[in-house]
Structures are given as C-alpha cells and as structure tokens.
C-alpha cells in the first residue's frame, strides 16, 4: 500500500504519563509480520470516559465498553487488529468476556475494569485462545515508553501511526495529554474514529471527563468523513490516571479546566485530522466550511453532503475545480438553500456569487488552487447564522484498489 503523502517524517515524541504502560506483540490474529495485540496497563484510580459507535450492529467489544463506561473505572485496555469481532453472536460476546477475565488476572483487577476494542474484518469469529495466554507476559512487560508500538499495533489499512500530545501546567505541575488513533476506511461521523485512545495524568472526575469527551467529539471525530461508511467498532476512550500531584478537579466550574479543555480539544482535532490525512487512497485533505445556514445542524448536513459526494471527491482527485458538483451536493442535502443567494469559495478565490459564477472568477484560478494538497471549500448559504466545518479526503483509484480486495 502506498504511504499517505501526509505521513509525518518522524512520529511525535510522547512524554511519559505516570500510571500508563503499554506492551504489544505479534499474536498472528490475522496479519503476519506485524504486531496486532496491544495491552495498556493503567494505575489504580484511573477513570475512563468515551464515545462509541451509534451503529445498530455494533461489535461485541463496543457493547462491552458501553456497559463498563457506566461505572467509569479502568485498569486495562486490550486492543486487537485484524478481526473486529462484530456480527459474531454469542461467540463474540464470549470472546470478550474471556479476554476481560484473562486481562483482569494479568493486571490484577476485576474484568469490569478492562476496556476492549477490536478492529478488522467483520463477521469472522475471534478465537480468544489465540491471544489471551499472551496477556500475562504483556502485563509484565508494560513499558511507559511504549506509545509508538501501541499506536502501530492497532492499525489496519493505516499507512502511518497517528499520535498527538499536549502538555500544560496546572498549579505548577505538568499535565500531559497523549493520544493515538487509527482510521483509514469505514470512516464517517458517529463515530468517525474507528479507534482512538487518549490518556492524561490530570486528576479529573469521570463525569467531567465524559462531558469534555462529548463536547469535543462533535467538532473533531464526528466532523470527519472518509467514505460515509460508519464502522461497527468505532471507539474513543479517554483515560485519566489522576497521578498528577494537584488537588482533584471535581467541578465543571473549576477554572483550572480551561487550559486543559483547550489542549484536549486541540489534541482530538489533531488526531481526527490525522485520520483524514491517512484516508484510504488520500491525495487531498479537504476542509468543507458551510456558513449562513438556517442553524448549525443544517450547516453540518450540507457540509457532509458535499464531503460525502463521490462526484465532489473524484473532482478533487482529478484537481478539477468543478464547482457545479458542489451546487449539486448543496441541492441534494435537503436543507434550506436559495440558489440565488449561494456563494462558493475555493480558499480565497470567490467562485460563485448570487446564483451565478463570480464576475472575476476564471477557471485557471480554480485549476491552480486545486493543485495544492490542502483544499478549503467554503459555501455561504445566505439564509441564517448556522455554520459547520467538516474534513474529508478525495476519492481516488487507490481507494478502489484497497477496497476491491481488502480481504484477499
């Protein structure tokens, strides 16, 4: 597979977060020659928040996490790639339970404190005997510097490991937020991430952590789309080890949350963008801004209609400033739009205005702009104050090549 043109030259250096260690191994679940099983070991007092796929055919691991998020405690995270353990019926449920039990023994906690995620092929049984015997050794080897290996072990068709880190100070103490994610295909809002795990040492209460997670997921992981397909397995988990030696943050009004929120939001957006930039077959990173909609939700519907349109995405792949297809996508979205008030911009170039091509627009300007790797499309509807941004990538031959024989 061709590496994304957006792949970073070197991976971000991740600071240690006290109370978080990783180990990963080649368990041979599906892939060979690469790691496909990851265990994160978390210190006592770790709390967890998260957002899970809204798919009606969610995987057994997602169902398990949904149950465990209710109590908000976590001591371990087990992730395998190669098999999604989705649509695997009672066997799938049993595989999750065995995994939780074995990880609990390995780490020294209750099965309910083990979070689990699986990604890969849907509909094939995941045999827990293939890998659960490895968990004891993994727990013993857990390494505070294991971030890069952990981010690689959860990849499927990703072409690079996606990591992000932020550090801020609260009460003179370093607070770190580290996260990693995998994406690549079957990426569409609710949730868009496939898998993303974020860790911090901040002593934040679980309900506040959950509120922050829900707040920032909207504009980050739920504002990206690769191919409009929503996975059965999408999982975002946010762990706080609470190991930083500062007074606990137990109230949503705590002023110390401000810098933390901002850093968390920026980190989530960074990981979400990295997922788009490694979308299957990506050659362009596209931001779709919609303004002047009836309300924000309408703006997002229109933005997604543009971002998910195969005709818009193939035009971008062909570096064709085909703004007629953007008009089409606005029209099909079903939200209020008045042709004679519509405006379209490519970056700073005004393309269309008041229902017609803009007076100064020339095709060469658009064609030149499309040659860039990062494209901004802006649509002004002229109806109200609603606005939204969605990020996507183009639709290329490489996407077809990857997906026409993913399993073979």
Q: Select 178 or 396, whichever has its Cβ closest to a second copy.
A: 396
Q: Select 122 or 271, whichever has its Cβ closest to a second copy.
A: 122
Q: What angle do CA 237, 241, 245 make, to 5 degrees?
A: 145
| Residues between 160 and 189 with contacts to a second copy, criterion CB under 8 A | 185-186, 188
Q: Select 362 or 397, whichever has its Cβ closest to a second copy.
A: 397
Exactly one of 30, 66, 91, 148 binds a second copy (CB under 8 A); which one? 91
Rounded Cα gap, residues 370 and 360, in angstroms: 17
Name the minimum Å distance from CB 408 to a second copy.
6
Q: Is 397 in the site for a second copy (CB under 8 A)?
A: yes
Q: Select 322 or 368, whichever has its Cβ closest to a second copy.
A: 322
**Residues whose CB falls within 8 Å of the CB of residue 236, separated by 6 or more in sequence, listed in order:** 50, 51, 52, 191, 193, 195, 196, 197, 198, 213, 217, 221
DSSP string, 368-380: HHHTSSEEEEEEE
Q: Is 158 in the site for a second copy (CB under 8 A)?
A: no
Stretch of 4-12, 158-166, 237-245, 392-400 contacting a second copy, by CB under 8 A: 392-400
- Exactly one of 159, 193, 235, 241 is catalytic; name it: 193
A 10 A CB-CB count for 137 gives: 12
User: Cα 156 from chain centroid?
Assistant: 14
Q: Is 384 in the site for a second copy (CB under 8 A)?
A: no
Q: Could you report how far apart the first and last alpha carbons of the chain are, in Å?
A: 14
Name the minimum Å distance from CB 216 to a second copy.
22
Stretch of 8-16, 34-42, 121-129, 144-152 contacting a second copy, by CB under 8 A: 121-129
Name the minimum Å distance from CB 229 to a second copy.
5
Q: Is 259 in the site for a second copy (CB under 8 A)?
A: no
| Residues between 62 and 81 with contacts to a second copy, criterion CB under 8 A | none
- Active-site residue, 193 included: yes
Stretch of 33-41, 71-79, 167-175, 313-321 contacting a second copy, by CB under 8 A: 313-321
Q: Is 352 in the site for a second copy (CB under 8 A)?
A: yes
Rounded Cα gap, residues 234 and 229, in angstroms: 11
Exactly one of 339, 360, 362, 373 binds a second copy (CB under 8 A); which one? 339
| Residue 318 backbone dihedrals phi, psi, to 5 degrees | -90, 5
Q: Which residues pair with 49 in a beta bridge?
A: 238
Nearest 10 degrees: Cα torsion 202, 205, 206, 212:
-70
Could you tell me what percentage of the chain is helix, strand and coil, using 3-state DSSP and rounding each to the nearest 5? 35, 25, 40
Q: Select 237 or 330, whichever has its Cβ closest to a second copy.
A: 330
Q: Report whether 312 contacts 323 (CB < 8 A).
A: no
Name the minimum Å distance from CB 268 to a second copy.
22
Name the minimum Å distance from CB 37 to a second copy.
20
Exactly one of 104, 196, 335, 375 binds a second copy (CB under 8 A); which one? 335
| Residue 263 backbone dihedrals phi, psi, to 5 degrees | -65, -40
Exactly one of 44, 108, 123, 248 binds a second copy (CB under 8 A); which one? 123
| Residues between 210 and 249 with contacts to a second copy, criterion CB under 8 A | 227-232
Q: Report whether 188 contacts 31 (CB < 8 A).
A: no
Exactly one of 15, 72, 136, 331 binds a second copy (CB under 8 A); which one? 331
| Residues between 273 and 312 with contacts to a second copy, criterion CB under 8 A | 308-311
Q: Is 379 left (phi over 0), alpha (psi -120 to 50) or beta?
A: beta
Give 318's DSSP letter.
T
The residues annotated with a catalytic role in the active site are 193
């Amino acid at each position: 597979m061709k590496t994304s043109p957006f792949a970073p030259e070197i991976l971000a250096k991740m600071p240690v977060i006290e109370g978080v260690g990783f180990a990963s191994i080649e368990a041979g679940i599906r892939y060979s020659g690469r790691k496909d099983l990851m265990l994160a070991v978390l210190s006592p007092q770790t709390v967890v928040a998260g957002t899970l796929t809204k798919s009606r055919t969610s995987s057994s691991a997602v169902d398990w996490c949904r149950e465990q998020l209710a109590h908000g405690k976590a001591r371990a995270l087990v992730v395998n790639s190669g098999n999604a353990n989705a649509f695997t019926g009672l066997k799938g449920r049993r595989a999750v339970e065995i995994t939780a039990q074995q990880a609990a023994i390995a780490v020294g906690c209750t099965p309910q404190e083990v979070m689990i995620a699986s990604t890969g092929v849907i509909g094939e049984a995941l045999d827990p005997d293939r890998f659960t015997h490895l968990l004891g050794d993994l727990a013993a080897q857990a390494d505070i510097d294991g971030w890069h290996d952990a981010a690689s072990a959860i990849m499927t068709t990703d072409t690079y490991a996606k990591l992000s880190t932020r550090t801020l100070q609260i009460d003179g103490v370093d607070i770190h937020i580290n996260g990693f994610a995998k994406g690549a295909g079957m990426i569409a809002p609710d949730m868009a991430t496939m898998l993303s795990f974020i860790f911090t040492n901040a002593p934040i209460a679980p309900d506040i952590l959950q509120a922050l997670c829900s707040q920032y997921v909207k504009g980050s992981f739920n504002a990206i789309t690769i191919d409009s397909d929503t996975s059965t397995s999408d999982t975002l988990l946010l762990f706080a080890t609470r190991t930083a030696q500062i007074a606990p943050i137990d109230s949503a009004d705590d002023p110390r949350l401000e810098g933390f929120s901002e850093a968390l939001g920026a980190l989530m957006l960074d990981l979400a963008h990295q997922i788009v930039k490694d979308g299957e077959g990506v050659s362009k990173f596209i931001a779709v801004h919609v303004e002047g909609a009836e309300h924000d939700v309408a703006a997002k519907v229109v933005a997604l209609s543009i971002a998910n349109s195969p005709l818009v995405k193939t035009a971008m792949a062909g570096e064709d400033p085909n703004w007629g297809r953007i008009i089409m996508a606005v029209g099909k979205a079903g939200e209020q739009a008045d042709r004679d008030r519509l405006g379209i911009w490519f970056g700073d170039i005004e393309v269309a205005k008041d229902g017609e091509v803009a007076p100064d627009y020339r095709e060469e300007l658009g064609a030149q702009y499309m040659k860039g790797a990062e494209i901004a499309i802006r649509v002004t509807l002229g109806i109200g104050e609603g606005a939204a941004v969605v990020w996507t990538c183009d639709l290329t031959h490489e996407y077809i090549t990857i997906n026409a024989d993913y399993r073979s």
